[in-house]
Amino acid sequence: MTKARAGELSVLPRSFYRRPADKVAPALLGRYIVRREAGARLILRIVETEAYLGAGDPASHAWGGRRTARTSALFRPGGCAYVYLVYGLHHMLNVVTESEEEGSAVLIRAGEPVAGERAMLRNRGLVEPIVGGALAGGPGRLCQALGIDLDDNRSWLDGESLRICRGRPSSPSRIVAAPRVGVDYAGEAASWALRFVERENPNVSRPRPW
DNA sequence: CGGAAGATCCACT
DNA sequence: GTGGATCTTCCGA
């Protein structure tokens, strides 16, 4: 676990998110998610993301301009969180991109522990230190490790309790693009290379595209 | 109003 | 590799 340095903890400006999701997604690799929880600071370095392009993307919750109570946060301005529940069990953390009403976002799929690993283990309901990469490898695990739930839906990602900071951006040569996970229902869009991972990073979820 | 499916994870074979 | 957990949302009748 590498220590976070001061410059790495400056928050990303909202303008960072005001561009297409397929540009934001790779640019988020290496950034730090910083969670404040009861005085403790939990930090994950982002190592895997997926872009969801909005109304024109059959895999997106905004497909065809669909808009419901659950997905309303997806239509907020870039820089907000969109959190929802799948399978009745797992929370998913998304970053809204572009300007409001676009319905585009980036799903945060995996992170590498930088600080607060103890608290994350507790949040996961684990006692023993974790086996390689599984602490926050996967979107459900990541949310559980950080204690993210529907209370975080609609919040800005530059706030006290949850923010994304500059971190150490992944070098472009180590970024791999691949099809998104779990979107077989989306037809041809299931093969679009909108999943971005840091190559060889053990925290990346399955299947590993390298 | 019913039913099906879901941007997942874990345990077990 | 397969199936079960668990429940909200959404669409069609």
Which amino acid, A94? N
Report yes or no: A187 and A173 within 8 Å, Cβ to Cβ.
no
**How confident is the model over A131-160, as a mean pLDDT?**
95
**Dihedral of the CA atoms A184, A87, A142, A181 (nearest 10)?**
0
Q: Which of A50-54, A101-105, A117-121, A185-189 has the lowest mean pLDDT?
A: A185-189
Q: What is the largest CA-CA distance in chain A?
A: 46
pTM for the whole structure: 0.96
Q: How far does the CA of A36 sit from the C1' of C1, in Å? A: 39
Q: Which residues touch strand B (CB under 7 A)?
A: A 50, 52, 59-61, 74, 86-90, 92, 94, 105, 107, 124, 134, 138-142, 180-185, 205
Query: Looking at residue A76, what is its pLDDT?
Result: 96
Return the bridge partners of A112, or none: A45
Nucleotides of B under 7 A from a protein CB: 5-10
Helix (H) or strand (E) holding A143: helix A139-146
Looking at the predicted structure, is the pLDDT value of residue A195 above 90? yes
Q: How far does the CA of A161 sit from the C1' of B10, in Å? A: 30
Q: How confident is the model at residue A2 (pLDDT cuts 50, 70, 90)?
A: low
Query: Looking at residue A133, what is its pLDDT?
Result: 85
